[in-house]
Chains A and B, each alone.
Chain A
């Protein structure tokens, strides 16, 4: 089968060109390109009118129509009359249909080239505005929290308990795995160095202090940012897309109280507990290396850890966990509430929630560490 479209040009009178179409004018068949036609037409300067003959045309689809449209545009520029009456009837009807609604001139979006400095400026303005929005969100959440303390806030206690289950008990496996392995890794790295001095026993100090004071909280925070912060943003974002948030508003129920408060409360309550649990798992990880590889006795390892870790370290670790809980819940809920009305916006909200939470965790760790350093604790 010769699946290709062909075209021959004949003069039918002095200024009229007859275009004979034959073969298959399909989108996926080989057709004369518009460039060739143009070149051929331009070699006839006396041309005033083009007519068509499609009796030998075997089959056609949008391939013929796009060809005709391009030709028409060219003819308009050259002030050549184009007579479509020789085209197949179906094609003529489609062309008439396409021309029925005139093009809306102001509907075209112009893509303006924005200078580099303007882009930087816009980004900076956006950044400041987003900081303002963040503060506003923290403000409204605080107001809602105060209403909660006064017993005026409205949310369902079942929601609170469901969220506590989701971000507490259900997070235990992943938190166990991560913190156990982090403890193990810390012990291995420490052991190699400390063995040089025959001071393997200090692995217990190293793992204990590092986990309890810092790593337990940070690792839990990052796991929860990815696991729960992203989920919060996606849940609330989908509700935004579904107009569920609007429905709450018109029922006179504050979405901040109804959706954000239980999530904030649940995560802020659970994070310190998860942190404590991560500390224990991390120390266990270190103990496996210490007892198994470095021949430190079990009791000895325990005693060394207990002696090394002060109550202050535990306090700082748990406090960090609390702060991270607030940060993760806040960024998840905030990005969810800001979510647009498209499906892709939900994905953006989840991504941005995780990024915001992790940045927040690292920055606040730095701040807490510096403060502790100044206070000498």
Chain B
């Protein structure tokens, strides 16, 4: 993958299993978000394929891609709520678009999703009226609106205080447990990586490729790659 002639990462090959909390990790500027953009269909890979099940995602036509990505939800770094709409309207938007639910039923679903992310009672607020952490949680509520099979998170804990970040991690764990949703999380927060990750891929910016994949806790114990070790231990050299 890359931009124009510039190759950001090459030779990426990994599998995300159903029910995983899959971490995409690596140093700043290594292409974590770009990789996510490719997975969710916002940017085409320079070369190679992405498979959802047996379907070649980028090899199929836009309508098929649309259908696949409809079964996924995305939480963006800043929440990316539509600023001209209230939280309730934001969450109701995908429901109104893709389901035939009545207004009352939609309202119930919206209320439920807001409760799930701990924002009950904020349905009439506009995104600009709530804090950054709340915006992120509302972003998750919107991503979950259609009960997706896969949820993507772009830096969920960036810019949050430790307590809020921890609550967010717990929420991701719980949702994964109770709904069986596959989670793909882009992050470089070590605490989150070890707390929630069950599978991962490490992107090494200096080698321009992935250097490790697997359970992050296992990687910490077993990896003999000095860069991976340094990353997972906040800078300790490999002995």
Residues of A within 8 A of B (CB): 154, 159, 238-239, 242-244, 246-253
- The residue from A159, A238, A247, A253 contacting B76, defined by CB atoms under 8 A apart: A247
Residues of B within 8 A of A (CB): 40-42, 66, 69-70, 72-74, 76-78, 80-84, 93-94, 97-98, 142
Contact B69 A244 (CB under 8 A): no
| Residue in A154, A239, A242, A251 with the greatest tally of chain B CB atoms within 10 Å | A251
| Residue in A238, A242, A247, A253 with the greatest tally of chain B CB atoms within 10 Å | A247
- The residue from B41, B78, B84 contacting A250, defined by CB atoms under 8 A apart: B41
In the complex with contacts A252-B70, A253-B93, A247-B80 CB distance below 8 A? yes
Contact A253 B78 (CB under 8 A): no
Contact A250 B83 (CB under 8 A): no
Closest to A245 in B: B80
Q: Separation in Å of the B141 CB from the closest CB of chain A? A: 13
In the bound complex, residues from chain B placing their C-beta under 8 Å from that of A251 are 93-94, 97
Q: How many A-B residue pairs have CB under 8 A?
A: 48
Q: Separation in Å of the A34 CB from the closest CB of chain B? A: 34
In the bound complex, residues from chain A placing their C-beta under 8 Å from that of B72 are 250
- Complex Cα distance, B85 from A239, in Å, reads 12
Contact A250 B69 (CB under 8 A): yes
Given A243-B80, A244-B82, A253-B94, 13 more pairs with CB closer than 8 A: A239-B82, A242-B80, A246-B80, A247-B82, A249-B41, A250-B40, A250-B73, A250-B74, A251-B93, A251-B94, A252-B66, A252-B94, A253-B93
- Complex Cα distance, B93 from A280, in Å, reads 42
20 A-B contact pairs sorted by A residue (CB < 8 Å): A154-B97, A238-B83, A239-B82, A243-B77, A243-B80, A244-B80, A246-B42, A246-B76, A247-B74, A247-B81, A248-B82, A250-B42, A250-B69, A250-B72, A251-B93, A251-B94, A251-B97, A252-B69, A253-B93, A253-B97
In the complex with contacts A246-B42, A247-B74, A252-B98 CB distance below 8 A? yes
In the bound complex, residues from chain B placing their C-beta under 8 Å from that of A159 are 84
Contact A242 B78 (CB under 8 A): yes
In the bound complex, residues from chain A placing their C-beta under 8 Å from that of B40 are 250
- Complex Cα distance, B239 from A193, in Å, reads 96
| Residue in A159, A242, A249 with the greatest tally of chain B CB atoms within 10 Å | A242
In the bound complex, residues from chain A placing their C-beta under 8 Å from that of B97 are 154, 251-253
Pairs A-B, 7 closest by C-beta atoms: A243-B80, A247-B80, A250-B74, A243-B76, A252-B70, A251-B94, A244-B80
- Complex Cα distance, B77 from A45, in Å, reads 60
- Complex Cα distance, B128 from A244, in Å, reads 13
In the bound complex, residues from chain B placing their C-beta under 8 Å from that of A243 are 76-78, 80
